[in-house]
């Protein structure tokens, strides 16, 4: 079996994955800022890393997956100015900031549960790690790479860049960043350099969320939280750090700088980034009116949607694009994914009842190799799914008696599909929680149909079959008995 290779944004190469402390793996993914409902970009990123988490565990690694929650310190401006997003929403809705956090945390977890994401090993909050952020800021100051101005502590980017490649993650030149920095930002005159960013912010009198610190009452900058929490739970060097590609230029660049300023090395060996979402070829954004929330997608309550799509269909749709590729939403693409998802699930259901013979007309090992080769190639889920559909073709052909399969291959096929489709890709049969009830109900219906057929009441028998088909259940009468599948 091929070795797992992961594309590293830091080196821009696919690297053979070798954990720092095998078989233990540390993975940190930047979580949401809870000032509004979870959006599809969040879902795409966290779903991608859910597959990474699942596959690493499938390969036998013991994974500590840390995904934070930002509940303080995320300002409206990348230049460390403006109002804290959570505090602003709290002020507008006349609620406590932690009421805002709790409201959107419940929604966030509900959406991810609907999409069948596994919970992370640890889900720390920024507000729960103020002490760690203060201590890290103090250490950076002691190392001479941060300075205080009237209660606010800034990171000295240009001084740091003299000994460490500040722009290595983005690939941009420091001079270009300096030229592109605006001079008219509030607080810019406090800074020694135009790229300097706040590690700790002095709280203005009206600021709700504030904590005591060596520099006076204030709150942490956005970037420092991830550096402090990833270090606390994964150590000063770990295996994988992930997030959306929009975090590369500022947040992740500054995370690396802070960590290196404190620990004299980059925090993670491998940096992974998911690509953006588009709708009918256009970038998804509120200003264009083409963005929709996950629940709107599930329920079809948006002007751009012809109807709703189940969470499992949406998950399957997202898996059909590589995590580093743009994902384009359209009704046609979602409907095609819906058909593909049902075809895959029906094939999985057929495996236990396949008849076996002495020989197989296909190579199971070839199929297995193709699936794992795709997943080992930077978690290439679309190629892995394409290989699985070759297995679907074999299953359907064997079920129709056109191809043969040995008992050993049937057992291996069931194991492969069970592990990859459910454990790694995280798909599940729709209505899986009621599967026993559905099975019992269908057994009753087919038994009644069998009785009317015995009485030669074929009109009623056909009506039962046709009515079931209208609700998406296909009944097949064969020489070996009756079978049914959900379309």
- Quote the pLDDT of residue 332: 95
How far is residue 39 from each of residues 34, 35, 76, 296, measured CA to CA in Å?
11, 11, 17, 10
Kindly report the pTM of this predicted structure. 0.87
Phi-psi region of 73 (alpha: psi -120 to 50; beta: other; left: phi over 0): left
List, in sequence order, every residue forming a beta bridge with 317; answer none if it has no partner: none
- Quote the pLDDT of residue 38: 83
- For the domain spanning 278-424, the CATH number is 1.10.730.10
- For the domain spanning 5-274, the CATH number is 3.40.50.620
> Residue ranges of the domains in the chain?
5-274, 278-424, 433-486
Contact 153, 146 (CB under 8 A): yes
- Quote the pLDDT of residue 192: 92
Asked whether the CA dihedral 136, 140, 146, 147 is positive or negative, the reply is positive
Contact 76, 85 (CB under 8 A): yes
Contacts of 415 (CB under 8 A, 6+ apart): none
Q: Is 99 helix (H, G, I), strand (E, B) or coil?
A: helix
- Quote the pLDDT of residue 190: 83
Instruction: Pick out the chain residues at pLDDT < 50.
Output: 76-79, 183-186
- Quote the pLDDT of residue 469: 85
DSSP assigned state of 117: P
- Quote the pLDDT of residue 302: 87
DSSP assigned state of 248: I
What span, in angstroms and rounded, lies between the C-alpha atoms of 230 and 269?
A: 13
End-to-end Cα distance, the chain: 35
- What is the per-residue DSSP string for 160-196? HHTTS-TTTTTT--HHHHHHHS-S-STTGGG-SSTT-
């Amino acid at each position: 079996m091929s070795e797992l290779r992961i594309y590293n944004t830091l080196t821009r190469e696919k690297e053979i994955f070798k954990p720092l402390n095998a078989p233990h793996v540390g993975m940190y993914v930047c979580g949401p800022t809870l000032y509004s409902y979870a959006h599809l970009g969040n879902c795409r990123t966290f779903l991608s890393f859910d597959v990474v988490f699942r596959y690493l565990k499938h390969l036998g690694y013991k994974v500590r997956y840390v995904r934070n929650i930002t509940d303080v310190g995320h300002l409206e401006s990348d230049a460390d100015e403006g109002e804290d997003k959570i505090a602003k929403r709290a002020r507008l809705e006349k609620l406590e900031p932690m009421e805002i956090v709790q409201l959107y945390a419940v929604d966030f977890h509900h959406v991810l549960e609907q999409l069948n994401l596994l919970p992370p090993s640890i889900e720390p909050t920024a507000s729960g790690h103020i002490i760690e952020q203060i201590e890290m800021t103090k250490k950076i100051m002691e190392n001479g790479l941060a300075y205080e101005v009237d209660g606010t502590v800034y990171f000295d980017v240009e001084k740091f860049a003299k000994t460490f490649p500040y722009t290595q993650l983005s690939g941009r030149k420091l001079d270009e960043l300096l030229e592109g920095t605006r001079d008219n930002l509030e607080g810019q005159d406090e800074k020694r350099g135009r790229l300097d960013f706040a590690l700790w912010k002095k709280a203005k009198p009206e600021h709700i969320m504030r904590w005591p610190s060596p520099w006076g009452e204030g709150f942490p900058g956005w970037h420092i939280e991830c550096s402090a929490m990833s270090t606390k739970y994964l150590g000063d060097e770990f295996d994988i750090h992930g997030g959306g590609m929009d975090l590369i230029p500022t947040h992740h660049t500054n995370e690396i700088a802070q960590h290196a300023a404190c620990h004299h090395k980059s925090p993670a060996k491998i940096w992974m980034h998911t690509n953006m979402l588009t709708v009918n070829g256009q970038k998804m954004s509120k200003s264009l009116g083409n963005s929709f929330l996950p629940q709107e997608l599930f329920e079809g309550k948006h002007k751009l949607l012809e109807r709703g799509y189940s969470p499992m269909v949406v998950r399957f749709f997202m898996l059909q694009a590589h995590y580093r590729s743009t994902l384009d939403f359209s009704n046609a693409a979602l409907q095609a994914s819906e058909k593909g998802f049902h075809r895959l699930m029906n094939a999985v259901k057929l495996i236990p009842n396949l008849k076996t013979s002495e020989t197989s007309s296909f190579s199971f090992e070839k199929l297995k190799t193709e699936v794992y080769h795709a997943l080992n190639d930077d978690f290439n889920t679309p190629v892995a799914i394409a290989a699985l559909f070759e297995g679907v073709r074999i299953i359907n052909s064997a079920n129709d008696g056109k191809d043969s399969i040995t008992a050993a291959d049937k057992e291996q096929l069931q194991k492969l599909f069970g592990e990859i489709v459910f454990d790694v890709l995280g798909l599940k049969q729709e209505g899986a929680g009621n599967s026993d009830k559905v099975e019992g109900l269908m057994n009753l219906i087919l038994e009644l149909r069998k009785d009317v057929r015995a009485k030669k009441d074929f009109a009623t028998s056909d009506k039962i079959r046709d009515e079931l088909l209208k609700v998406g259940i296909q009944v097949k009468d064969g020489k070996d008995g009756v079978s049914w599948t959900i379309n």
